[in-house]
Amino acid sequence: MTLSLNPSVCFGPQLVKLCGGMIEAGKAYVGANKLFVNGIRDLSQQCKKDQMISECLEKCGESLQEIINYHMLAAH
C-alpha cells in the first residue's frame, strides 16, 4: 500500500496563513516607509533656519523616496 500525501491538502491552510501574514507585513513596511520619509521632510521644514541641515534632510528625503519608488516598481 502506497500512501501519497497531497501537499496542497497538508500545507494549504498554513501556506495561506503565511501568505496573508506576509501581505500584512508588506503593508506595514510600506506605511512605515511613508511615515519615515514624511517625518524627514517635516524635520527639514522645521530646520529652515539652518540651511545646510535643511538641505541635507531634504535631499535625504528625496533619495529615500526614490528608493521606495524603485522598490515599488521592482515589486510589480
Dump pLDDT digits (tens) for 10-35.
Answer: 678 899 999 999 999 999 999 999 99
For the record, the C-alpha cell of 37 comes out as: 520619509
* The pLDDT of residue 44: 95
pTM metric for this prediction: 0.70
Question: What single-letter amino acid sits at 73?
Answer: L
> Residue 75 and residue 67: Cα distance in Å, rounded?
12
Dump pLDDT digits (tens) for 40-65.
Answer: 999 999 999 999 999 999 999 999 99
Neighbours of 44 (CB within 10 A): 19
DSSP string, 30-74: HHHHHHHHHHHHHHHHHTTTSHHHHHHHHHHHHHHHHHHHHHHHH
